[in-house]
Copies of this chain bind each other. A is one copy, B any other.
């Protein structure tokens, strides 16, 4: 950030009076431009024993597999965000269930939330951000081609818990950069 979005004067990075962290402050109108973490919201769409995955058509990790998920928008609820992302990325309709995992990713200032979900029909296809969309049984999941650890780890856990017959809620922290997971 170089300029004030309110008056186009130059901003400087400094700790405002009464604050504890450096913020972008306008040198002319004194507005403080706060920057805060964003939420990425998605789901684990289930059809019988299979899960719907999307192969990414966009960076980062273009060509790798992921669950439908994306940045939450203003004026929507968490469940609405998860359903919207699934419709956008997989053209798929889901009934959103309970929250399954919530991960803090402090190194990239994101909080990642995944819901359980039930796929409502098989009329899915790739949205513009996906190359391919398909259903996978556990043994068919391309574990070594998963785009993000924050997708890989909850999905691995989901199958383990499902096989034990007890699917819970989990909170965690992933504090290192994106990498393939195995």
CB distance from A4 to the nearest CB of B (A): 7
Query: Of all chain B residues, which has the CB nearest A38?
Result: B36
Contacts of A3 in B (CB 8 A): 3-8
Interface secondary structure of A, over-half rule: loop
Query: Of all chain B residues, which has the CB nearest A109?
Result: B74
Query: Of all chain B residues, which has the CB nearest A35?
Result: B74
Q: Is A111 an interface residue (CB 8 A)?
A: yes
Which stretch (A45-53, A98-106, A150-158) binds chain B? A98-106
Asked whether, in the complex, the Cβ of B88 is within 8 Å of the Cβ of A104, the reply is no
CB distance from A36 to the nearest CB of B (A): 5
Asked whether, in the complex, the Cβ of B2 is within 8 Å of the Cβ of A5, the reply is yes
Contacts of A33 in B (CB 8 A): 5
Residue of A2, A35, A37, A39 with highest tally of chain B CB at under 10 A: A37
**How many angstroms between the C-alpha atoms of A85 and B169 in the bound complex?**
24
Asked whether, in the complex, the Cβ of B5 is within 8 Å of the Cβ of A36, the reply is no
Which stretch (A75-83, A118-126, A139-147, A159-167) binds chain B? A75-83
CB distance from A62 to the nearest CB of B (A): 15
